[in-house]
Amino acid sequence: MSASQPANRREVITTRDIRNRKGGTPIVCLTAYTAPMARLLDPHVDLILVGDSLGNVVYGMETTLGVTLDMMIAHGAGVMRKARRACVVVDLPFGSYQESPQQAFRNAARVMTETGCRAVKLEGGSEMAETISFLTARGIPVLAHVGLTPQAVNAMGGFRTQGRSGPDAERILRDASAVAEAGAFAVVVEGVVEHLAREITSRIEVPTIGIGASAACDGQILVSEDLLGLYGEHLPKFVKRYANLGEEIDRAVANFADDVRARRFPDEAHVFKAVGGGR
């Protein structure tokens, strides 16, 4: 009998699967903001994050502070339509969860019901522990995010590597422990020095997913447009470019413009003709 494993059951990755990867094969994560990008990433990654970095990447904002809940829900729903197996997590934007556990639940529940995603991510350490246990106890899995937290850019005085001083490193370690103990299924660790990332990873029981936080983490995440060469010229030091799609787009658009101006496009292969009755 195979009632528990029907042959046509499709592989899906749950937050529990991610949680269980602690210390195993590194967890592969990338961002997607749209359906076509989700379709391309889905066969290759374990987790797709609909990040509030879409404020920078899609909307040209300077920081993520102007991103709204409605924007996250619209993009999250688009990603969900084309992600079949990867675990999809949606960022809660600035101002949608910091006020109280009740505010966080109300807005996270909207994200879950209106997108169908598996979990939400929120930024913060010890001060968010109560909110994380409030959400997880009520059925909303939470991915935590500590270290360099972009929504706190004004409090941090810029996008700076965190944990360089002893007291700073101890605070971030306490933050990571607090969010893990509060019930987060994994913790994004951003922009911290290598020895701190290694220390956090060895001390907490759930996986760490690093961005600019060394190979000592249990997984890695990057912004897809950064590694594809689709965003910006000056990238953070931690980004590795795997393609230069921006250059490809430049060449393709220049060729299209030349063809239109020279009347080479549309050519015979791309024109409708009224053959046998027409249309």
Ligand X SMILES: Nc1nc(=O)c2c([nH]1)NC[C@@H]1CN(c3ccc(C(=O)N[C@@H](CCC(=O)O)C(=O)O)cc3)CN21
Asked whether 20 and 218 are in contact (CB, 8 A), the reply is no
Cis, peptide link before residue 167, omega less than 30° from 0: no
Candidate residues 129, 172, 221, 227; the one interacting with ligand KIV per rule CB under 6 A: 221
Which CB atom, from 29 or from 204, has the smaller least distance to ligand KIV?
Answer: 29
Q: Is 223 in the site for ligand KIV (CB under 6 A)?
A: yes
CB atoms within 10 A of CB 251: 9
Beta bridge mates, 145: 123, 188
Catalytic residue among 11, 170, 190, 248: 190
Q: Which of 137, 18, 141, 45 is nearest to 90 (CA)?
A: 141
Candidate residues 15, 53, 201, 224; the one interacting with ligand KIV per rule CB under 6 A: 53
**Residue that has been written with the tokens 């961005």 in this structure:** 211
| Residues with Cβ within 8 Å of residue 116, at least 6 apart in sequence | 77, 80
Q: Is 51 in the site for Mg ion (CB under 5 A)?
A: yes
Q: Is 226 in the site for ligand X (CB under 6 A)?
A: yes
Question: Cα(187)–Cα(217) distance, rounded to whole angstroms?
Answer: 10
| Catalytic-residue membership of 190 | yes
Q: Between residue 230 and residue 259, which ones bind ligand X under the rule CB under 6 A?
A: 231, 236-238
Window 184-213: contact mask with ligand X (x via CB under 6 A): -------x----------------------
Asked whether 190 and 148 are in contact (CB, 8 A), the reply is yes
The binder of 231, among ligand KIV, ligand X, Mg ion, none, by C-beta within 5 to 8 A per type, is ligand X
Residues in contact with ligand X by the rule CB under 6 A: 53, 56-57, 64, 148, 150, 159-161, 191, 223, 226, 231, 236-238
Annotated binding-site ranges: 52-53, 91, 121, 123
Q: Which residues are catalytic?
A: 190
